[in-house]
Amino acid sequence: MPVIEISSLSHPGVEVFSTLTETQLRNRTEPDKGIFIVESPKVIKRALDSGYEPLAILCERKHIVGDAAEIIERCANVSVYTSSRELLATLTGYVLTRGVLCAMRRPAPRSMEEICRDARRIVVIDNVVDATNIGAIFRSAAALGIDAVLLTHTSCDPLNRRAVRVSMGSVFFLPWTWMDGSLSDLGKLG
CATH of 3-105, one of 3.40.50.300, 3.90.10.10, 3.30.1330.30, 3.30.470.30: 3.30.1330.30
Q: Is 124 strand, coil or helix?
A: strand
Q: What is the domain partition of the chain in residue ranges?
A: 3-105, 112-189
Please name the amino acid found at residue 28: R
pLDDT digits (tens, 9 = 90+) for 9-60: 788 888 888 877 677 777 765 666 789 999 999 999 999 999 999 999 999 9
Sign of CA dihedral 148, 156, 105, 67: negative
Sheet holding 148-151, edge to edge: 122-125, 148-151, 176-178
Give the Cα separation of 42 and 48 in Å (integer).
10
pLDDT digits (tens, 9 = 90+) for 150-171: 999 999 999 999 999 999 999 9
CATH superfamily of 112-189: SPOUT methyltransferase, trefoil knot domain (3.40.1280.10)
Record the pTM.
0.87
Give the Cα separation of 71 and 104 in Å (integer).
13
Residue 151 near residue 158, CB atoms below 8 Å: yes
